[in-house]
C-alpha cells in the first residue's frame, strides 16, 4: 500500500482525480483516507491528513491574507489581495467563485469540485456574518468623512477622491467598493481637462447644458437625491447618443442603453447592480412603474418574502440616478414630474449627421479630457455650496443648490434655481394635463366657478356627459378621486387652482377647489422671488428670450382658459 501511495503522490492533480475512487476501492479504504495519505506523501501542508476539498479551500483562503466582513444589510463579503491591490467581492458572487477555483488549482493542481466549493463558500459566508466586521459597501460612488469617491473600475482598483481642495487619484480606496461583471472603467483623469468638449459631441441645446452638467455631477454624489433625467426627441435627434455619452461619464457599462423594464422587479434589480439606472426608447410607463422610479430617485426600497420561507423577508434598498429617453414624454405622474428634469433634443440638420463609428471614436478620444473637466467643475462647486442660499426652495433642494454652485463655477449669469423652478412647473402642468379627470375638474371650475362639497358629489358632477372622459384612469370611487387630486395638487397649483380640505363629516370628506387670481398669487410669491433675485444677483433678460427655449414643451389642450393661464404663469415665473 505504501508503494502505491507513493506512486499516486507523483501523479498530477487531474491524473489522480481520475483514478482515486477506483484505487481506494482496490485498496479497501475510504476515499478520504486515501486523499489524506496521498497529501502526506506529497508533503502538502494546505490541510491536515484526510482533509476534504472544502477544508483545503478554506485553508487556502486563510493563507491568502483575505479578510471576511459583512455589509450593513448582512451580506457576506471578502477582501482579497490580488497582485499589488485589494479587491472586494460578495462571497456568493461569480468573481469570488472563480478566485477560489484559482487558489485551489494553483495549490492542488486539480479542479475544485462543485459541491466542495459550495460547502467552502457556505462556511466562509457564515464566518463573515459571525466573525467579520461590518462595513458599508458602495457601488461606483461613495461619500465618506466629507469627501466624495469615484471608483474608476480599472484593473488596479483605483479611485478618485474629490473635495473642496481638489481631486486626486488613489491607489488604495479608504472605502469599500464592490463591482458587477457588467461595469466598465472610467478614463484615468489627468490635469488640463475641459468639460465643454462634451457639447460639440452631443445634441443638447445651449439652454439645457447647465441642467445636464449639474445632473452629471450630482450623479457622482452618493449622499444626495438626484432628479430623473428624461431626454425627449423625435427620429433623427440622436437622443440615444446623447443618453449613452452622458452615462459613460458616470457609470459606463457593457450595455449602456437598456430596453424598457417589463416589471417593477426589473427596475429594482437594475438599481441593485448599476449605479445609473438607464432605460432607452421608452414609449410609456405605468403609474406603478413611475412610482417605483420615484422611490429609486429619492431613496427607498422594497421587501418580499424570502424564497422557501414564511417568516423572513428579503429587502432591496436603492438611491440611484436615473436617465431615460423616448420620442414622447414618458413622465406623466405628478410626483415623479416633481422630481425630474426634461431636455428636448431637436432634430439634427441632415448635413451635420455623422457616422456612428466616427462620433464614437471622437467621443472616446475626448472622454478623458471631458471627465477631467467635469471633476474640475465638481471641485469648484463643492467649495461654493456653503455660500449658496435659496429662499424659494424647490423639491430637489440639494440639486438646486449644486446647480447654482456649478453655474457660479463656470461663470453663468443666469439663475439655475429659477430655470429649474420654471421647468418643474412646466413638467407638473404637463403631467396634470395628461389626467382626464383632473382636466375635467379644470374645465368644470372654469365653467361653473368654485366647487365646495364632498368628493362623492364631485365625482357625480364629473360623471356628467359634459366632463366625463372615457380614457383610462377615471376613478370609480370618491376615495380614488381624492387620491388623484392629492397626487396632482402641485400641478393644479401650477395651473392656478387652490385645494382646501375640511374634516370628515356625516356626508363624507369635503373639498374646496377654486381658481386663484394671478394678482393674488403674484403677491404671495413676490417677496420670495425678489429675495431670490437679491441673493443671486440674477442677470435680467426679456421673458420672451427665456420662454423661447420652452416652446412646444407645454401640450396644447382643448381648455383655452387653462392653456393661456399656464403659459402666462410660466412666462411670469421665469
Q: What is the secondary structure of 188-246 as a DSSP string?
A: PP-SS--GGGGGGTS---HHHHHHHHHHHHHHT-TTS--PEEEEE--TTS-HHHHHHHH
Question: Is residue 560 exposed (0-12), middle (13-18) or buried (19+ Cβ within 10 Å)?
Answer: exposed
Indicate whether 229 and 203 sit together in one domain. yes
- What mean pLDDT do residues 246-271 have? 89
Joined together, the cell numbers standing for residue 336 give 415623479
Indicate whether 551 and 449 sit together in one domain. yes
| Dihedral sign, Cα of residue 422, residue 541, residue 231, residue 350 | positive
- pLDDT reported for residue 36: 81
Residue 254 lies in a domain: yes
Residue 471 lies in a domain: yes
pTM value is: 0.79
Indicate whether 458 and 431 sit together in one domain. yes
Indicate whether 497 and 552 sit together in one domain. yes
- 123 vs 318, residue with greater confidence: 123
% of the chain residues with pLDDT over 70: 84
Residue 155 lies in a domain: no
Question: Of 366, 382, 399, which residue constitutes the final position of a domain?
Answer: 366
Residue 190 lies in a domain: no
Q: What span, in angstroms and rounded, lies between the C-alpha atoms of 153 and 180?
A: 10
Nearest to 489 by CA among 432, 529, 444: 432
DSSP letters spanning 268-297: HHHHHH-SSEEE-S-----HHHHHHHHHHH
Q: Sorting pLDDT into bands at 50, 70 and 90, what band is 539?
A: very low
Query: Which residues, other chains included, contact 276 with Cβ-Cβ below 8 Å and sequence gap of 6+?
Result: 219, 247, 250, 251, 253, 320, 321, 322, 323
Query: Which residues, other chains included, contact 565 with Cβ-Cβ below 8 Å and sequence gap of 6+?
Result: 495, 496, 518
Residue 180 lies in a domain: no
Provide the residue range defining the domain that includes 75.
60-134
Q: How many CB atoms lie within 10 A of CB 257?
A: 16
> Across the chain, what does the average pLDDT equal?
84
- pLDDT reported for residue 468: 76
Report which DSSP code applies to 113: P
pLDDT one-digit tens code per residue, 26-84: 888 888 788 888 878 877 654 444 458 899 999 999 999 999 999 988 999 999 999 88
Q: What span, in angstroms and rounded, lies between the C-alpha atoms of 285 and 293?
A: 10
337 and 431 in contact (C-beta within 8 Å)?
A: yes
Residue 172 lies in a domain: no
Residue 438 lies in a domain: yes
- What mean pLDDT do residues 524-549 have? 36
pLDDT one-digit tens code per residue, 366-407: 999 999 999 999 999 999 999 998 887 888 899 999 999 999
Indicate whether 512 and 462 sit together in one domain. yes
* Out of 147-151, 261-265, 437-441, 485-489, least confident range: 261-265
Query: Cα–Cα distances in Å, from 22 out to 16, 103, 125?
Result: 10, 27, 34
Residue 181 lies in a domain: no
- pLDDT reported for residue 523: 47
- pLDDT reported for residue 573: 43
- What mean pLDDT do residues 480-502 have? 88
Indicate whether 68 and 18 sit together in one domain. no
Q: How many CB atoms lie within 10 A of CB 413?
A: 12
Q: Is 419 left (phi over 0), alpha (psi -120 to 50) or beta?
A: alpha
Indicate whether 253 and 351 sit together in one domain. yes
361 and 220 in contact (C-beta within 8 Å)?
A: no
Indicate whether 207 and 238 sit together in one domain. yes
Nearest to 402 by CA among 391, 386, 418, 413: 386
Question: Of 339, 366, 393, which residue constitutes the final position of a domain?
Answer: 366
Q: 282-289 long-range CB contacts below 8 Å, 24 or more apart? A: 282/324, 282/325, 282/326, 282/330, 283/326, 283/327, 283/328, 283/330, 284/328, 284/330, 285/260, 285/330, 285/331, 285/332, 287/333, 287/473, 288/264, 289/261, 289/264
Q: Sorting pLDDT into bands at 50, 70 and 90, what band is 217?
A: very high
Give me the CATH number covering residue 295. Answer: 3.40.50.300
Is 528 a residue whose pLDDT tops 80? Answer: no
Indicate whether 22 and 71 sit together in one domain. no
Joined together, the cell numbers standing for residue 532 give 431670490
Is 343 a residue whose pLDDT tops 80? Answer: yes
- What mean pLDDT do residues 466-483 have? 80
How many domains does the structure of the chain reveal? 4
Indicate whether 25 and 118 sit together in one domain. no
Indicate whether 420 and 569 sit together in one domain. yes
Q: Sorting pLDDT into bands at 50, 70 and 90, what band is 232?
A: very high
- pLDDT reported for residue 548: 33
- What mean pLDDT do residues 182-191 have? 91
DSSP letters spanning 296-351: HHHSEEEEEEPTT-SS-EEEEEE---EEEEESS-----HHHHTTEEEEEPPPPPGG
Is 230 a residue whose pLDDT tops 60? Answer: yes
Question: Of 51, 70, 87, which residue constitutes the final position of a domain?
Answer: 51
- What mean pLDDT do residues 101-118 have? 91
Indicate whether 303 and 330 sit together in one domain. yes
Amino acid at each position: 500500500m505504501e508503494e502505491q501511495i507513493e506512486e499516486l503522490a507523483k501523479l498530477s492533480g487531474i491524473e489522480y482525480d481520475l483514478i482515486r475512487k477506483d484505487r481506494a476501492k482496490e485498496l479497501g479504504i475510504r476515499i478520504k483516507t486515501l486523499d489524506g495519505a496521498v497529501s502526506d506523501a506529497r508533503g502538502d501542508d494546505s490541510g491536515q491528513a484526510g482533509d476534504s476539498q472544502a477544508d483545503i479551500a478554506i485553508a487556502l483562503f486563510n493563507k491568502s491574507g483575505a479578510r471576511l466582513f459583512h455589509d450593513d444589510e448582512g451580506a457576506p463579503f471578502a477582501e482579497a489581495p490580488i497582485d499589488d491591490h485589494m479587491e472586494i467581492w460578495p462571497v456568493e458572487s461569480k468573481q469570488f467563485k472563480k478566485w477560489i477555483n484559482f487558489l485551489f488549482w494553483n495549490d492542488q493542481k486539480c479542479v475544485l469540485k462543485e459541491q466542495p466549493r459550495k460547502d467552502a463558500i457556505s462556511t466562509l459566508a457564515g464566518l463573515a456574518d459571525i466573525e467579520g466586521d461590518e462595513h458599508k459597501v458602495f457601488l461606483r460612488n461613495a461619500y465618506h468623512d466629507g469627501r466624495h469617491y469615484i471608483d474608476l473600475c480599472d484593473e488596479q482598483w483605483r479611485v478618485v477622491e474629490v473635495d473642496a481642495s481638489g481631486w486626486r487619484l488613489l491607489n488604495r480606496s479608504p472605502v469599500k467598493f464592490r463591482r458587477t461583471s457588467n461595469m466598465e472603467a472610467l478614463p484615468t483623469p489627468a490635469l488640463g481637462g475641459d468639460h465643454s468638449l462634451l457639447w460639440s459631441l452631443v445634441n443638447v441645446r445651449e439652454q439645457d447644458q447647465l441642467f445636464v452638467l449639474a445632473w452629471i455631477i450630482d450623479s457622482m454624489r452618493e449622499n444626495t437625491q438626484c432628479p430623473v433625467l428624461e431626454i425627449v426627441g423625435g427620429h433623427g435627434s440622436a437622443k440615444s447618443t446623447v443618453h449613452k455619452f452622458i452615462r459613460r461619464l458616470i457609470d459606463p457599462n457593457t450595455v449602456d442603453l437598456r430596453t424598457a423594464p417589463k416589471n417593477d422587479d426589473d427596475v429594482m434589480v437594475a438599481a441593485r447592480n448599476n449605479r445609473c439606472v438607464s432605460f432607452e426608447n421608452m414609449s410609456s410607463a405605468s403609474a406603478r412603474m413611475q412610482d417605483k422610479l420615484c422611490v429609486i430617485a429619492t431613496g427607498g426600497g422594497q421587501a418580499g418574502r424570502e424564497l422557501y420561507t414564511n417568516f423572513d423577508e428579503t429587502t432591496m434598498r436603492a438611491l440611484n440616478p436615473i436617465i431615460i429617453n423616448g420620442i414622447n414624454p414618458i413622465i406623466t405622474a405628478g410626483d415623479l414630474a416633481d422630481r425630474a428634469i426634461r431636455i428636448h433634443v431637436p432634430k439634427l440638420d441632415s448635413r451635420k449627421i455623422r457616422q456612428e463609428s466616427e462620433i464614437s471614436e471622437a467621443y472616446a478620444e475626448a472622454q478623458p479630457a471631458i471627465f477631467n473637466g467635469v471633476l474640475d467643475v465638481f471641485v469648484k462647486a463643492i467649495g461654493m455650496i456653503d455660500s449658496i442660499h435659496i429662499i424659494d426652495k424647490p423639491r430637489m433642494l440639494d440639486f438646486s443648490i449644486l446647480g447654482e454652485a456649478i453655474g457660479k463655477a463656470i461663470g453663468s449669469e443666469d439663475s439655475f434655481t429659477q430655470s429649474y423652478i420654471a421647468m418643474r412647473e412646466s413638467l407638473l402642468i404637463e403631467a396634470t394635463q395628461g389626467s382626464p379627470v383632473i382636466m375635467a375638474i379644470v374645465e368644470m371650475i372654469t365653467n361653473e366657478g368654485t366647487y365646495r362639497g364632498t368628493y362623492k358629489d364631485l365625482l357625480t358632477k364629473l360623471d356628467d356627459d359634459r366632463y366625463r372622459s372615457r380614457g383610462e384612469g377615471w376613478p370609480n370611487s370618491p376615495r380614488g378621486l381624492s387620491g388623484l387630486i392629492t397626487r396632482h395638487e402641485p400641478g393644479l397649483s401650477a395651473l392656478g387652482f387652490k385645494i382646501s380640505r375640511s374634516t370628515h363629516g356625516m356626508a363624507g370628506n369635503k373639498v374646496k377647489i377654486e381658481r386663484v387670481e394671478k394678482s393674488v398669487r403674484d403677491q404671495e410669491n413676490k417677496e420670495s422671488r425678489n429675495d431670490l433675485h437679491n441673493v443671486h444677483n440674477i442677470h435680467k433678460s426679456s421673458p420672451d428670450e427665456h420662454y423661447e427655449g420652452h416652446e412646444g414643451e407645454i401640450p396644447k389642450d382643448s381648455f383655452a382658459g387653462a392653456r393661456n393661464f399656464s403659459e402666462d404663469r410660466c412666462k411670469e415665473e421665469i
